[in-house]
Amino acid sequence: MITEQLRSFPCPKCNELINTGMDKCSYCSAPIDPAEAEAAAAVQDQVNKAYSDASFIRNMAVGGWVFFLIRYIPFVGIAGWIGMFILMVLVPIKLVVWQARFGRLKTTDPDHKRAKTNRNVAFLIWIPLPILLGLAFLVLASFA
């Protein structure tokens, strides 16, 4: 017996979450085409990945500021500098990759909207960091 892994996707007719093993929707009884179901489930997987990735990038952006503060702690300050610079470089790279992979995903899933919000929040949390460091650098340079 082949145990096929069931994956969930929104019914094309009523948008309720159903899974790929069904031949009709358990909510609205709309007939489900297996190929269409697999395609929809693949999109759903992408939506889930987009959502978790965007949350992760947002946390990375927050992490950049945590390291920013760690810089002020005696003895471990150097770890703060390193962590801050790594995240300052990584966050925009991750955002570009996210945009390329998930930005144009065709779906009406609200999680995709939430993922896009997280992407925007990540950017807004991140952007003051390079601006602040840039300004600090300019101020220091003008005194040198």
11 forms part of the interface with Zn ion (CB under 5 A): yes
Compute the distance between CA of residue 45 and CA of residue 37 in angstroms, rounded to an integer. Answer: 12
28 forms part of the interface with Zn ion (CB under 5 A): yes
CB of 22 to Zn ion, least distance (A): 10
Considering only 2-10, 20-28, 39-47, 108-116, which stretch makes contact with Zn ion by CB under 5 A? 20-28
Number of residues near Zn ion (by CB under 5 A): 7
14 forms part of the interface with Zn ion (CB under 5 A): yes
Compute the distance between CA of residue 78 and CA of residue 85 in angstroms, rounded to an integer. Answer: 11
Compute the distance between CA of residue 107 and CA of residue 30 in angstroms, rounded to an integer. Answer: 19
CA angle in degrees (0–180, nearest 5) for 83-90-144: 60
* Binding interface with Zn ion (CB under 5 A): 11, 13-14, 25, 27-28, 30
